A and B are shown apart, each in its own frame.
Chain A
Amino acid sequence: MKAKKLFSVVSVLLTLVLCLTACGADTDVSSNGESGSSETEYQDTITIDLNSEISNFDPAYLSGVPTSRVACFFMDHLCYMDHDGNIIPRVAESWEANDDATVWTFHLRKDVKWHDGTPLVAADVKYNFDRIIDPDTAALRASDMACIESVEAPDDYTVVFNLNTPVAAFITKCLLINPALLAQPAALEEYGESFTDHAVGTGPYKLVEWVPGEKVLLEANPDFYLGEPATKYIEFRLIPDGMTALIELEQGNIDFLFNIPSTELGTFETNDDITLANARDFGVAWIFLNTDMEPCNDINVRKAIAHAIDYQTIYETMLSDFGVIADSYLPDHNWAYNPDTTKYTYDVEMAKGFLADSGWTDTNGDGLVDKDGQTLKLEIGATKREADNILLEAAQSYLRAVGIDVSMSVLESAAYNERLASQDFQAYVLNISQDSPEPALLIDFAFTSYAGYNKFGYNNPRVDELVLLANSTADTEARKEIYMEIQALIKDDYVSLPFFSRYAQVGVSNKVEGFTHSAAIFNLEQVRVKK
């Protein structure tokens, strides 16, 4: 009898909890920052997920994609990219370079104001760049701006960059990167290390507040020189777990989702309220072969590896959700793409032939090739990114079929990056995102002998020479020819195996209007979200 009473107490309590939660849900009308006004048809807030904490809004120390995505709403670059990756005016309304691309002159708009209402003048731009190139600032990526010798501001609306070397792609390489974001000098000086809490720029939105661990709130800038944005607020909500963020998108609590769990792409096919927007990214996923280490210092081994893999089948069966197949160092939609480079056709016999040419044969019948009693072993490093692991596992089985004993080192990103930085992998998967079609960004940064991303010991003097030539060539057609030749040279050296060019993906609520997705920019100035 008593037990029955207790049982009913438990039931009542449980019912109470459920009722409370249900009542709570009914009153949830403002969870997405809606204004609550019944006349307006649109929400006053666009909500976007952030998968990791903001780092630092000071352009000198700003790092990481999420931070940069937020910062670009309230700080401007001199120029901008359109959805196709073309460079268009922003703070600078026009510009010109001298014949050898060593002096770049920018003419600024006269109606650009900082968020506190003071006008932006050329001296402000000079201040920003002087600060970045000053060694005492120890700015991140200062070396990307090493070509800048000096910056001048001859009048209030003209900025002149004097370079110490010709750089035809100066705008893309130096003016569209994080340290080139324009921050108000007065705010930088006044707030110093706490600039992140008080960032002042010229962008379409102003920073209202950053609550660490929770959110960043931006408010439309009514004085924005290209017109006030359509939606009043943008809220970036920190949601580290991709699955949770996807549920929030499905529930309509966020409008854009960047951190899409790769195993859940199917959700977008079954849910009519959300869409997966795919845009072509300008980066490529490769396996790089380290020419400084055995066994890939032997071109025959590299050739054997290249021809042992069936790229087409791997792509069609496993990678088509992630991007488009690639066969060069630039994806096929890049203006400088060369379709006529040496093809790495899948041919097991040819691969075995290359191995035999260097003395690697299966003498003991264990299925693995050997030479002087040593089996041919290859360690390939990768991060835990799913697409990278899929391509690596597939490549491993194909390489095993020609007798190469491949071991996979799938590492946490910190451990992977440390080994990569010290050039410690015999081979590695590198899958980088690139928002710009500028070929210099991929080729110069990875394939010159001095490149930061060249962690595979590649050194082809002709490639270095052509890169210098491309840098001092202003004519686009001529540059295209040079980059096509570079692609052919690299492909003939068998130093890296292109697999696929990935999609830039974003999950979008179907209530969103006026949004165009591209890898180049994430622009929400005309975007509205229906209630």
Chain B
Amino acid sequence: MLNFVIKRLLYSLLVVIGVTIVIFSLVHLAPGDPVQMMAGIDASPEDVEAMRAKLGMDQPLIIQYFNYVKGLLRFDLGKSIITNKDIADEIFFRFRNTAELAIVGVAISSIFGIIIGIVAAVNRDRWIDKSLMALSITGISMPSFLLALLLMLVLVSRLSLLPASGRTGSPFTAEGFKYIILPALTLGISGTASIARLTRSSVVSVLNEEFVMTLKAKGLQRALILFKHVLRNASLPILTMIGLDFGYLLGGSVVTETIFAWPGIGKYAMDAIAQNDFPAVQGSVLILSMMFMVINLLVDLLYGILDPRVSLK
């Protein structure tokens, strides 16, 4: 177990080094000279060079890379060239907002996904199962921007039930909660669909196992069999899926956060890209990649703990 963790951590370190190189190269190879963009296309070459020197971007790329890595070792992601704010602070601040969205989104997808999945499984091959699964295929296939706009048109434009965008205070208060519903629903609905499908197939496969037959033969109530025995055995892939879904949502959803003006990490990355704010792009992509790595590692470890048959070697 310990060996496995150490090995995975070492792998992760290699991946982090790789990620910094890739991000740094991508940012510097992408079209558009960030300094020229900041100064404006009509800026004189002298203005552009003065700005470049001020930002330390007149040095060779390799030196800039090492300066960047030196900063990272001190947990310094640098400053945004647009807002002049500390990127690590900004990301930390927005991470909280993204985490709020992820928690509510996953709550929605887990509750509805598991309920729908169980309903479909116990009614296997009946019309209710087929229609729920058709619905979930639609949910999985629908792009989030379309879903977001549909929800907005119905719940905001037509029914005036909810505010369309923004975040006002903590979403765990009555006032703030209204603002999180739409983005969380958008994220939650596609998650619901995939969790429902997975729950259905896991429950169906456990229902087919011999021990279920034995329990039935022993005269146990159907609900007891379903919730105490079947669900517990079917829970491993579902939990993994929920964990991955949560990890994915923690990475911020660029489209959903942008459409609903939710000030999370995905929107921060998007703004940084749109404004050619290259240190912010580097910082946010690095944090997002590391988050994925950590989540994957945790899910792997969780597997071993939940199912002793899985060997962590």
List residues of chain A with CB under 8 Å of any chain B CB: 2-3, 6-7, 9-10, 13, 21-22, 24-25, 27-28, 31, 52-56, 58, 61, 63, 135, 138, 140-143, 193-194, 196, 211-215, 237-241, 243-245, 247-248, 250-251, 253, 411-412, 414-415, 417-418, 420-421, 445, 451-453, 455
Contacts and interface: CB of A to CB of B under 8 A. Distances in A.
Contacts of B268: 213
Interface of B: 30-33, 36-44, 46-47, 50-51, 53-54, 79, 82-85, 90, 93-94, 97, 111-112, 115-116, 118-119, 122-123, 128, 149, 152-153, 155-157, 160-168, 174-175, 177-178, 181, 222-223, 226, 258-261, 263-264, 267-268, 270-271, 274-276
Given A10-B115, A213-B267, A214-B166, A243 B261 contact: no
A31 B83 contact: no
B164 A415 contact: no
Contact of B84 (A2, A143, A196): A196
Nearest to B36: A421
Contacts of B162: 21, 24-25
Contacts of A417: 32, 36-37, 41
A25 B161 contact: yes
B119 A3 contact: yes
B261 A140 contact: no
Given A25-B162, A143-B46, A61 B119 contact: no
Contacts of A13: 111-112, 115
Contact of B165 (A54, A63, A143, A244): A244
A212 B42 contact: no
B261 A24 contact: no
A452 B41 contact: yes
Given A21-B181, A138-B51, A452 B164 contact: no
Contact of A2 (B51, B128, B164, B222): B222
A143 B164 contact: no
A423 to B, nearest CB: 10
Nearest to B119: A6
Given A3-B119, A138-B54, A418-B31, A21 B84 contact: no
A237 B260 CA distance: 12
A55 B43 contact: no
27 contacts: A3-B128, A6-B115, A6-B118, A22-B161, A24-B162, A25-B178, A53-B83, A53-B275, A63-B40, A138-B54, A141-B40, A142-B47, A196-B85, A212-B263, A213-B94, A213-B263, A237-B165, A237-B166, A238-B263, A251-B164, A414-B30, A414-B37, A417-B32, A417-B41, A445-B42, A452-B43, A455-B41
Contact of A53 (B37, B82, B168, B264): B82
B181 A240 contact: no
Contacts of A21: 155, 161-162, 178, 181
Q: Which of B79, B156, B166, B226 has the most CB of A within 10 A?
A: B166
Given A27-B174, A212-B85, A240-B271, A251 B160 contact: yes
A3 B122 CA distance: 7
A244 B275 contact: no
B83 A212 contact: yes
Contact of B82 (A55, A238, A418): A55
A210 to B, nearest CB: 9
A141 B75 CA distance: 33
B41 A244 contact: no
Nearest to B265: A213
B258 to A, nearest CB: 5
Contacts of A244: 152, 164-165, 259-261
Given A10-B119, A213-B267, A247-B152, A421 B164 contact: no
A237 B111 CA distance: 33
Given A27-B174, A55-B82, A247-B156, A6 B166 contact: no
B275 A52 contact: yes
A243 to B, nearest CB: 7
A418 B166 contact: no
A143 B44 contact: yes
Contacts of A214: 166-167, 263
Nearest to A67: B82
B164 A24 contact: no
Given A138-B54, A212-B93, A452 B42 contact: yes
Contacts of A240: 258, 261, 267, 270-271
A238 B261 contact: yes
Q: Which of A53, A61, A140 has the most CB of B within 10 A?
A: A53
Given A138-B50, A142-B47, A251-B156, A414 B41 contact: no
B43 A141 contact: yes
Nearest to A21: B161
Contacts of A212: 83, 85, 90, 93, 263
B166 A7 contact: no
Q: Which of A9, A13, A61 has the most CB of B within 10 A?
A: A61
A24 B174 contact: yes
A38 B228 CA distance: 57
A25 B82 contact: no
A358 B157 CA distance: 59
A25 B160 contact: yes
B101 to A, nearest CB: 13
Contacts of B53: 138
A135 B49 CA distance: 11
A93 to B, nearest CB: 32
B161 A414 contact: no
A457 to B, nearest CB: 15
A238 B275 CA distance: 15
B261 A55 contact: no
